[in-house]
Amino acid sequence: MSVEGKIKEGAGYIKEEMNEHGKDAESRRKAQEGRDLRNEGRMEDGKPKTTKPGTGH
């Protein structure tokens, strides 16, 4: 796993967790940015993108 991928995944996790329970549109947007950053880091390292919970994949 590359250092850059680990950093992106970690930063995305933190950003998502800090904003995921917010009620306003700004918090939801920042949480989605965190998810996107995590997925970008995973894709760089060859990990598959995670699916939505409950989809059975």
* pLDDT 10s digits, 39-49: 888 887 777 66
Task: Tell me the mean pLDDT in the region 18-37.
Answer: 91
Nearest to 42 by CA among 9, 4, 3: 9
Q: Which pLDDT does position 3 carry in this prediction?
A: 86
Give residue 29's pLDDT band: very low, low, confident or very high (50, 70, 90): very high
Query: Does pLDDT of 12 surpass 80?
Result: yes
Residues 6+ apart with CB under 8 A from 5: 41, 42, 44, 45
pTM over 0.75: no
Q: Which pLDDT does position 2 carry in this prediction?
A: 80
